[in-house]
Amino acid sequence: MPFPPGGPTDYVARLVAQHVSANLGQVVLDNRPGAGGTIASKAVANAEPDGYTLLYGSSATLGIAPALYKNVEYDPIKSFAPVALVSRVPFVLGVAAAVPANTLSEFIAYAKANPGKLNFGATIGTPPHLVGELFKVTTGADIYYIPYKGAAQAMTDLLAGQMHMTIEGATTLLAHIQSGKVRPLAVMSPQRIPALPDVPTMLEHGYSGFPPASWTGVLAPAGTPASIVGKLNAAINDALQSPRSARISPSSARRRRSDPRRTSPRSLPSKPRNGPPWSRIGGEARVGGRLATFAGAAPCPALSTSSGQHERQVSCRVRGIPHLAHI
């Protein structure tokens, strides 16, 4: 697991692991966060292809990290054997209840009228981070970014009013929206979602080009025998249909739009590092061996996962400018 315990990705993985354990034997979830998920991904890429070591991957670890970081030491396509797609979760832009804005237009206007006074937070290099930066670039809203080690800590600060904006999955925010602690302003999906039918899309507000959702799935090291992949795929699909995993079941998906489904290994994205929008969001991203940059963006210094200027360089790659000048 590339992320800390307690976050939404960790929670879903544990639900699936509990059911798989009942069918195939004990499954131990080993949390190895850090470096944008590359630590855990590298560990699985180098593991024996025997079906005993698996990666709970996502658009962050297999789509963003290889484009954002230099020398991740694994290939998101060649290093893994896809096992099963677990979920696809639409993004929702929400604000803390105390923020004086009831619509997206009001929020953008308030952010522009109060430059640097609002903030948003997310784990460095994850979809919420990069989509948040894309929102700032697209709208011109001056919103300060706060890096977090995990999604659980960021959500705690949002609910306490210490963080003002978030862009997270619908499954993560729905309960807090229903309690009135988070106010949804827009969804990133092309159409409104059943769980939040009154919340307009970014397209309705006149903004296009935002990634609609993030995905998660299970992968094995490359070279894992097809018979083992098939057995794991069947067990995970059974887990998604099990009452024990009711919160990510199809009936719950219609309510929360986490959209789990019975899938084949081929259902996982086949070219996570080449397709939009992650390579476009990054200020400088390696795509097909070439460099893709923002129009007019200055080149960024090479980003190493051990760099002492980690946050400054990530910021540069996301926006094309080093806006964390205080670090």
Distance, in Å, from the CA atom of 253 to the CA atom of 269, rounded to the nearest integer, reads 20
pTM for the predicted model, two decimal places:
0.70
Distance, in Å, from the CA atom of 78 to the CA atom of 87, rounded to the nearest integer, reads 22
The one-letter code for the residue type at 126 is T
Which two structure tokens, joined as six digits, stand for 62?
């297999």
DSSP string, 220-256: EETT--HHHHHHHHHHHHHHHHSGGGGGGSHHHHHHH
Domains in the chain, start-ordered, CATH in brackets?
8-88+214-267 (3.40.190.150)
Length reported for the chain? 327
pLDDT tens for the chain, residues 1 to 327:
988 888 778 888 898 898 888 888 899 999 998 877 889 999 999 999 999 999 999 888 888 888 777 788 899 889 999 999 888 889 999 999 999 999 999 999 999 999 989 999 998 878 888 899 999 989 999 999 999 888 888 999 999 999 999 999 898 899 999 999 999 999 999 999 999 999 999 999 999 988 888 888 999 999 999 999 999 999 998 888 876 555 553 333 333 334 444 555 555 655 443 334 455 555 432 322 222 222 222 333 333 333 333 333 333 333 332 222 221
Q: Is 153 helix (H, G, I), strand (E, B) or coil?
A: helix
Q: Does the N-terminal peptide bond of residue 8 adopt cis geometry, omega within 30 degrees of 0?
A: no
Count of Cβ atoms closer than 10 Å to residue 255 Cβ: 16
Going by C-alpha positions, the residue among 95, 108, 106 that lies closest to residue 138 is 108
Taking phi first (over 0 means left), then psi (-120 to 50 degrees means alpha), and beta for anything else, what does residue 219 get? Answer: beta
